Amino acid sequence: MSAKSFTTSSFHPPNVSGREAVPHIFRQRPHVFAVIVRNKNGNVVVLEAAPKDGRLSDVDSYWLDLDPSYKKRARARGRTHDRDEFGMMDRRGYGLRVLSSHAKYLIVSMAQLPNVHLRVRLEGDVTNAYVQLNGAICRLQHVYVHDTVGYGFLPQVEYVEVHGLNRCRQQVVERFHP
C-alpha cells in the first residue's frame, strides 16, 4: 500500500488508547475498515484498504502504538509517529488474507478467525467491511481479542469478539473460541 498512515504525525487525541481510540481512528483514516483491540495493552491493530485506480486490491495491517509506555519508549528513540509495522509473528496472529478480489469488493479472512469472511467494500470515499454475526449481515466495527499466557512466550487466544452494527444500527456481538 503506497500511502502510509500515521507515519508523519502522532495519533490524536494523544491520551486515548484501546477500545476508546476506535472511533477516532475511523475519523482520521477513511479507508480503515476495522480495528483489533486486545486485553494486553492499549495498542491496536489497524486494518486498512485504500483504493488504487478506483478499486480495492490489497489490505494493510499494522500496529498503532497508543499505550503510553510504548509511546514513551518510541519518543525516547526519536520516533515521532505511532505506526509500527508488523513482524512475522504479528502477521501470523493478526494478519489478513485476501481470499478473492472482485471489481467492487474484496473477500478477506483474519488470522484468528479463518472461517469468518469479511466483505471489504469501497463506498464513496470510505472503506467498510461487512460480516455475518448471529445470522445478520453487519458493518464491522472492531474486533476484541482476549488472550492469556500460553506455552513459552506465545500468547494463547481465549476468545475473539467481533463487534458490528446491523441494518437498524444496533450493536451486534458474536464471540468465537478459536
pLDDT digits (tens, 9 = 90+) for 64-79: 988 888 888 888 999 8
Average pLDDT of the chain is 88
Cα(55)–Cα(29) distance, integer angstroms: 17
Percent of the chain with pLDDT over 70: 93
User: Range of 100's domain?
Assistant: 18-176
Q: Report the domain count for the chain.
A: 1
Asked, for residue 158, whether it belongs to a domain, the answer is: yes
Sign of torsion over alpha carbons 105, 90, 37, 143: positive
The average pLDDT across 94-113 equals 92
Asked, for residue 13, whether it belongs to a domain, the answer is: no
DSSP 7: S
In the prediction, which pLDDT does 148 show? 87
The average pLDDT across 16-33 equals 90
DSSP 3-state of 26? helix
4 alpha carbon, distance to own chain's centre: 15
Residue bearing cell 444500527 = 169
Is 144 a residue whose pLDDT tops 80?
Answer: yes
Cα(81)–Cα(99) distance, integer angstroms: 31
Asked, for residue 96, whether it belongs to a domain, the answer is: yes
The average pLDDT across 22-38 equals 92
The average pLDDT across 20-28 equals 90
In the prediction, which pLDDT does 150 show? 73
Asked, for residue 6, whether it belongs to a domain, the answer is: no
Question: What pLDDT band is residue 38 in, cutting at 50, 70 and 90?
Answer: very high
Asked, for residue 88, whether it belongs to a domain, the answer is: yes
Asked, for residue 4, whether it belongs to a domain, the answer is: no
* Cell numbers linked to 119: 466483505
Is 2 a residue whose pLDDT tops 70?
Answer: no
- The CA-to-CA distance between both ends of the chain, in Å, stands at 29
